[in-house]
Structure 1
């Protein structure tokens, strides 16, 4: 009998664990909290839950997980800004800015952004929750968000995993969210990081044209190309200011440059890039050998790597080679791609590119335990679904990426729409100078240049991981929101 009981228990256990783990399609958990921001106590609610994506027949085809922070002491939200936050990838959860940048809780990390144990979170004294409510949205297959797939019905992946599909379904989802939360009267802002900048730039126009929802601002954190063409000579030349920044950080420049303040150095490197390097690259093989030698020497001067490397590569030194080469003779370390302050160790000092991205493994070290603990234990959202830091969204259809032009058109149509660009100087993936270049190209007429602004920080892709930049970057967003809100009685007109 004892054996039979154990057998029955074992069979029941197998059946229990064989059940498919499914996320509730439409659910919400509310918890109450407080945080001290800039010396002032702020009471707020955190709503964590899932909300459906509807198809044209009104059936749920996916469910998106979100976290929505709302101040408790403000009942009338018609003048209360709402910030809608996305990360990138594509395929990345909205975790990075959530628990390291704008939200009320941030990672326990050191002042430069490196992991410390025990892992966890602490109050964010610089969160923008004092001036705006915030919702962090996880697109399909990121975080806890999932497609809804029944045995006889399979969701069509092409409706979700591509530049245009992503923008279209998220715009519809945001319409539902804003309606449910009664935020139609609120000033609205989109913030996106990395690929999230492609997403929010496209959404700015899609929300206007398809949902009739008009924004007050778009914040681009470490922006991607957004469909702005910079191939060929422009792409090659634009690398140099970043090379200079990374070399300055690692003290690989000649003393005449190393002793300069970073921003003074970068202004000099930018001027050389625009006025000397780019014209030479445009002429290609017809640049004289004497001129090529002169430029290679100066590029070496600003980058910390040898002149012969530039000559051997026809002035076209790839990013990956730079990450491997800069510290080759200084301990044999590699430098990080997304944040070149981080060092890595390869199997061999020789080679043309690093074995891995040193910064990303460091970040996952801190973020993964923190977000899993925080959502389940502090925000009380209980599920056995795996939280996807990076989810399966590939192949991703990148065709038709015209999102930079979409943003320009949204701005042209909406006189109240301003744009802030934020970049870290040591980001080697979406470099600060490429971010500037994208911003310059967004408005070829120059008629909206006073509505476009740029802020740089002494860190990398996620500039907010550095304590000083966490403070400064949040303050810049706070100022942007306050300055972009129309004065009472101001009309939206040119």
Structure 2
């Protein structure tokens, strides 16, 4: 039975395990495990208590005592047949007398195909990976420290890894692909959240979702799914590096939407690398205001006209695109006014033999040669964050959380491909409508959107466009709050941004906690 067509029944918590099985095919391997007194005696799933350990961390000058719990939520069909084991790491503050007043935030990253390690050990959890002030990786072996900017003082945290990421897997005999798609993922992750809430009695708590990148797509979908399927209403949704409408980021022939939406981030990148004219280098925000006005008006109109542009109009757009991107007029002409993100990454500093990052365009890399049309790799991913985060997580769960599992912890990979978008076949996925519906049915629901100026994966102006085209009513728009940072996709690797994000998170939780009445529509009086 396909997972999405079955209703999940119960949460079976599978704890400290060692997946000692012969792995003939890594891509098809399933975590078949059984633990008896700490020893693997079989290769079939078993129920065991999760592992809990006691810790403390100092946040905002206060010592926070907390319990870390790691283990599995087992998804099953209504007849009790196991389908998948979902790995989670939960942090709950000790000494809370009434958990109905204690917020809980369910957290995940994106990909699709990413574990939750980035938000877990980058910004929200009680430990964080040590990076430079800018966000450069340091020399291996890597390390992590107590995270004095953790959100744990404001909310309990549950980090969830979707199937085939982290330690999460389909059980033996079940196919991975039944979880690898937009609707399939929403159903399995939604039920994992429901099951955790059942098991740990958190239905009465203020509830939040926090996602990054495709995790924002997931969060928007979940806001509607949880509400409609289980009447599971949320207090807040946190969208970090948001992408809700895939059309805004797909450079397909005939889709001109991304070009004006990416332009402000091209400008911010050129500004950072000092490739703009002196007057544009003075103030980033002032320059972006000018570029956004151009993108909304002249540039969008020019793209709409297409080949009907006059020669004078065409040359005017060439001049301005060159001015705002730091690219030559000749190159802009070669693109026919349509600058692809990957080509921009390769072209901006080509004369110096450098490429710029996609996830974070502050970073540079060097390819084998300088003649390609796109970078060989993303210097802000493979050359910056992957190694430190992988080392930190794998050491941390074993040494401090006392959790043993010999499965490879899938940090970020392609085991989920191809991702099934059959629900939007022949069109672009746009979950903005799911979020709008959730906000319409729940007038208390708040949305916080965090954007990095140097994020070329999910540009801030594309996020603004999406929310401006969701059809939000005035009272709903009041429930949406944007914040901006001079950093990239994983904005928190930049230390000043990490500090500011913590301050902004504190404000969000405090403001929602004091909310007593929703924003409601008012009728006009004639």
TM-score (norm 1): 0.92
Counterpart in the other structure of 1:462: 490
Q: Distance in 1 between matches of 2:295 and 2:412?
A: 36
Q: CA deviation at 1:224?
A: 1.8
Q: CA deviation at 1:229?
A: 6.1
Counterpart in the other structure of 2:366: 345
Q: CA deviation at 1:269?
A: 1.0
- What does residue range 222-371 of structure 1 map to in structure 2 within 5 Å? 222-226=241-245, 232-260=255-283, 262-329=284-351, 331-361=352-382, 362-371=384-393
Q: Specify which of 156, 173, 194 is matched with residue 133 of structure 1.
A: 156
Counterpart in the other structure of 2:4: none
> Would the aligned equivalents of 2:247 and 2:258 in 1 still touch at CA under 8 Å?
no
Structure 1 pair 445–415 and aligned structure 2 pair: CA distance change class (3 A): closer
- For residues 409-447 of structure 1, what are the alpha-carbon distances to aligned partners after superposition, in whole Å with 9 as ceiling and x for unaligned? 000000110111111111111111111112222235444
Q: Specify which of 237, 257, 261 is matched with residue 218 of structure 1.
A: 237
Counterpart in the other structure of 1:75: 97
2:183 is the alignment partner of 1:155: no
Q: CA deviation at 1:402?
A: 4.2
Counterpart in the other structure of 2:438: 410
> Would the aligned equivalents of 1:327 and 1:334 in 2 still touch at CA under 8 Å?
yes
- Three-state SS of the structure 2 residue aligned to 1:129 is coil
Counterpart in the other structure of 2:228: 209
> Would the aligned equivalents of 2:75 and 2:83 in 1 still touch at CA under 8 Å?
yes
Structure 1 pair 289–323 and aligned structure 2 pair: CA distance change class (3 A): same
Q: Distance in 1 between matches of 2:195 and 2:387?
A: 35
- For residues 133-183 of structure 1, what are the alpha-carbon distances to aligned partners after superposition, in whole Å with 9 as ceiling and x for unaligned? 00000011110111101xxxx214443110001101221221110011111
Q: CA deviation at 1:18?
A: 4.4
Q: Distance in 2 between matches of 1:250 and 1:143?
A: 35
Q: Distance in 2 between matches of 1:433 and 1:17?
A: 48
Q: CA deviation at 1:256?
A: 0.6
> Would the aligned equivalents of 1:228 and 1:438 in 2 still touch at CA under 8 Å?
no
Counterpart in the other structure of 1:422: 450
User: Bigger CA drift: 29-38 or 111-120?
Assistant: 111-120
Q: Distance in 1 between matches of 2:305 and 2:249?
A: 16
Counterpart in the other structure of 1:440: 468
- Three-state SS of the structure 2 residue aligned to 1:367 is helix
Q: CA deviation at 1:66?
A: 0.5
The Cα RMSD (Å) is 1.8
Counterpart in the other structure of 1:7: none
Q: CA deviation at 1:486?
A: 4.9
2:212 is the alignment partner of 1:193: yes
Structure 1 pair 91–410 and aligned structure 2 pair: CA distance change class (3 A): same
Q: CA deviation at 1:395?
A: 1.6
> Would the aligned equivalents of 2:55 and 2:66 in 1 still touch at CA under 8 Å?
yes
Counterpart in the other structure of 1:22: 32
Q: Distance in 1 between matches of 2:390 and 2:268?
A: 29
Q: Distance in 2 between matches of 1:475 and 1:388?
A: 31
Structure 1 pair 90–17 and aligned structure 2 pair: CA distance change class (3 A): closer
> Would the aligned equivalents of 2:70 and 2:401 in 1 still touch at CA under 8 Å?
yes
Equivalent residues, number = 472
Unpaired stretches in structure 2, ≥5 consecutive residues = 1-19, 24-29, 35-44, 424-428, 522-526
